[in-house]
Amino acid sequence: MLYQSTRNSVDKITSANAIVKGISNDGGLFVPEKMPQVSLEEIKQLSDMSYRERAKKIIGLFLTDFTAEDIDYCVDNAYTAKKFETDDIAPVHFLNDTTNILELWHGPTCAFKDMALQILPYFMTTSIKKCNIDKKVVILVATSGDTGKAALEGFADVEGTGIIVFFPEDGVSNIQKLQMLTQEGENVGVASVFGNFDDAQTGVKKIFGDKEYNKILEENNIMLSSANSINWGRLLPQIVYYFSAYADMVKAGKISNGDKINVCVPTGNFGNILAGYYAKNMGLPVHKFICASNCNNVLTDFINTGVYNKNRQFNTTISPSMDILISSNLERLLYDVTKDETAVEGWMKKLFTQGEYEVDNATKEVIKNNFFGGYCDDASTKETIGKVWNENKYLMDTHTAVAYNVYMQYVEKTGDKTPTVIASTASPYKFNEAVLSALSPETSFDGIDVFELVDMLNVKTGLKVPASLAELKEKKVRFDYKCEKEDMSKLVSQILKIK
Ligand SMILES: *Cc1c(COP(=O)(O)O)cnc(C)c1O
């Protein structure tokens, strides 16, 4: 299995190469040259496997330049009972006959990013060896909150690597900020950027594309790589849990093997939902993908009209990990649908220069057939959290609630009763202030210390506080870097101690 850029179908590289590089030199994203197929018989076999065994099976289909021992090493070290609070790793909560919640937040940072970022460092170090690289690989991350912490946790003190995370100064929750600023490890750096997530992401992409700066890094024996979902090593582990959820539903008798399901995902950078779409291309029986956005509803409009237009107001919401106007992984979807690198490159150039592009009718059609797009504002998000708690005693975080709300809109519009998997992407404790105010709309939680909020949510719901959040109280803040978006490379040099 080889990989190519979404902007060049001629040059092919190995998976190890694609993982180390992160993003293609032409600005495109790496995609597998074809999708491996998984038969219904093989899906049935997954039902009797542990999460680790399922992961080995799916990941092995893509990383054909890794040996079976390499893959065992990566999977067995990433998905351990020590790092995840449940040995199921990604359990499905059966809420009712049609609604099934895939809980992806039992990892060390309480968000679904752990599913990929716990294994990426093992992919990365294995790939570095395979590519005979003797440089230090420095991971640059732009984060809307969850990726940053999960990447720091995954890469901390991993030999031969360094990691620097940029987050928007006013765009992350208190818990997220504390989680990052208290990160331990000798090879980590954390800085905030004056701006929003898109500013941080654009700044990081600029550093990747800055030939002169990369030369300076090279002279210092450093190369850059990415842990954002533009890296193939981020997307691949996310394909696994869609198969896993399906296998769990078959096992529990919720569906028969071969039955179609819907998949509903709270979406930002389009990585998570794209992994589900790839699973469908591999043979997972999926009817519709429900793409849920918050008020930054650029994807809702795109799915409904075929016009992608980022020229609009950027909203800061209570689901900050979805406050994104440039969904990077859409490029991979467009390539998969069109197989036309020239068209994809043209659209991406237009997005860069004009902030807008429109896809052709055939592409619109395929996207409409596969995806339903909807969005939900902060008030409805809170209402949804309150409603599901009152009716089912099931507590959702703000992102998952956006997905649940949009799923309800979908059911109302279509009457579709297909069993649906909702990707639950964060622990409610991570967004405790919004969740508390959803449960007690009359009360103000303004200005209350975050740890007190954690305790209040615990008292109110009786749900266990994740160990990593409980421990946060004792941790020291280690970083105080802040910078303008123009000065991000300067800060990288400062953190890496190069002139
Ligand atoms: C990152 C994130 C999302 C968005 O996922 P994408 O892959 O960027 O679409 C949704 N919810 C939470 C909690 C996240 O951390």
Q: Is the CB of 113 under 6 A from ligand 1?
A: yes
Q: Evaluate whether 266 touches 423 at the Cβ level (below 8 Å).
A: yes
Pocket test for ligand 1, best of 231, 322, 385 (most atoms within 8 A of CB): 322
Q: Evaluate whether 209 touches 27 at the Cβ level (below 8 Å).
A: yes
Nearest CA to ligand 1 atom 1: 321
Model pTM above 0.85: yes
Closest CA relative to residue 457, chosen from 384, 380, 108, 466: 466
Q: Output the CA angle 79-274-338, nearest 5 degrees.
A: 145
Closest CA relative to residue 166, chosen from 134, 133, 188: 188
Residue 296, classified by CB atoms within 10 Å of its CB into exposed (0-12), middle (13-18) or buried (19+), is buried
What is the reported pLDDT for 173? 83
Write the CB contacts of 27 (distance below 8 Å, at least 6 apart in sequence). Answer: 7, 209, 348
| Strands lying side by side in the sheet with 222-226 | 222-226, 136-142, 161-168, 188-194, 481-484
Please compute Rg for the chain using Cα positions. 21
Amino acid symbol at 75:
V
Q: How far is the CA of 270 from the centre of ligand 1 (A)?
A: 8
Q: How far is the CA of 260 from the centre of ligand 1 (A)?
A: 24
Q: Is the CB of 291 under 6 A from ligand 1?
A: no
- The CA distances from residue 180 to 39, 173, 204, 301, in Å, are 41, 11, 18, 33
Q: Is the CB of 321 under 6 A from ligand 1?
A: yes
What is the reported pLDDT for 65? 98
Q: For the chain, how many helices (H) and strands (E)?
A: 22, 16
Which pLDDT tens digits describe the chain residue by residue (499 residues)? 999 999 999 999 999 999 999 889 888 999 999 999 999 999 999 999 999 999 999 999 999 999 999 999 999 999 998 899 999 999 999 999 999 999 999 999 999 999 999 999 999 999 999 999 999 999 999 998 889 999 999 999 999 999 999 999 988 888 899 999 999 999 999 999 999 988 998 899 899 889 999 999 999 999 999 898 889 999 999 999 999 999 999 999 999 999 999 999 999 999 999 999 999 999 999 999 999 999 999 999 999 999 999 999 999 999 999 999 999 999 999 999 999 999 999 999 999 999 999 999 999 999 999 999 999 999 999 999 999 999 999 999 999 999 999 999 999 999 999 999 999 999 999 999 999 999 999 999 988 999 999 999 999 999 999 999 999 989 999 999 999 999 999 999 999 999 7
- Structure token pair of residue 467: 């160990």
Based on the residue annotation, tell me whether 113 is a catalytic residue of this protein: yes
Q: Output the CA angle 189-186-138, nearest 5 degrees.
A: 55
What is the reported pLDDT for 205? 87
Residue 442, classified by CB atoms within 10 Å of its CB into exposed (0-12), middle (13-18) or buried (19+), is exposed
Annotated catalytic residue, options 21, 56, 57, 113? 113
> What is the maximum span of the chain, computed from C-alpha positions, in angstroms?
62
The whole-angstrom separation of Cα 499 and Cα 496 is 9
| CA neighbours closer than 13 Å in the CB half-sphere of residue 348 | 21
Nearest CA to ligand 1 atom 8: 269
Q: Is the CB of 32 under 6 A from ligand 1?
A: no
Q: Identify the residue whose tokens are 């990726």.
A: 147
Q: Identify the helix (H) or strand (E) that includes residue 248.
A: helix 232-251
Neighbours of 210 (CB within 10 A): 14
Q: How far is the CA of 423 from the centre of ligand 1 (A)?
A: 10
Q: Is the CB of 320 under 6 A from ligand 1?
A: no
Pocket test for ligand 1, best of 105, 106, 109, 112 (most atoms within 8 A of CB): 112
Q: How far is the CA of 309 from the centre of ligand 1 (A)?
A: 20
DSSP string covering 155-183: HTT-TTEEEEEEEETTSS-HHHHHHHHT-
* Structure-derived torsion over alpha carbons of residues 307, 312, 316, 317, reported in degrees to the nearest 10: -40
Phi and psi at residue 461, in whole multiples of 5°?
Answer: -110, -20
Question: Which of ligand 1's atoms lies nearest the C-alpha of 105?
Answer: 13
Phi and psi at residue 415, in whole multiples of 5°?
Answer: 70, 10
Q: Is the CB of 266 under 6 A from ligand 1?
A: yes
Q: Evaluate whether 246 touches 261 at the Cβ level (below 8 Å).
A: yes
What is the reported pLDDT for 198? 85
Q: Is the CB of 270 under 6 A from ligand 1?
A: yes
Helix (H, G, I), strand (E, B) or coil at 132: coil
Topology (CATH level 3) of domain 92-103+252-459: Rossmann fold (3.40.50)
The whole-angstrom separation of Cα 324 and Cα 197 is 7
- Structure token pair of residue 262: 């819907």
Q: How far is the CA of 266 from the centre of ligand 1 (A)?
A: 7
Phi and psi at residue 329, in whole multiples of 5°?
Answer: -75, -5
Helix (H, G, I), strand (E, B) or coil at 30: strand
Q: How far is the CA of 229 from the centre of ligand 1 (A)?
A: 10
DSSP string covering 359-419: --HHHHHHHHHHEEEEE--HHHHHHHHHHHHHHH-----HHHHHHHHHHHHHHHHH-----
Q: Is the CB of 179 under 6 A from ligand 1?
A: no
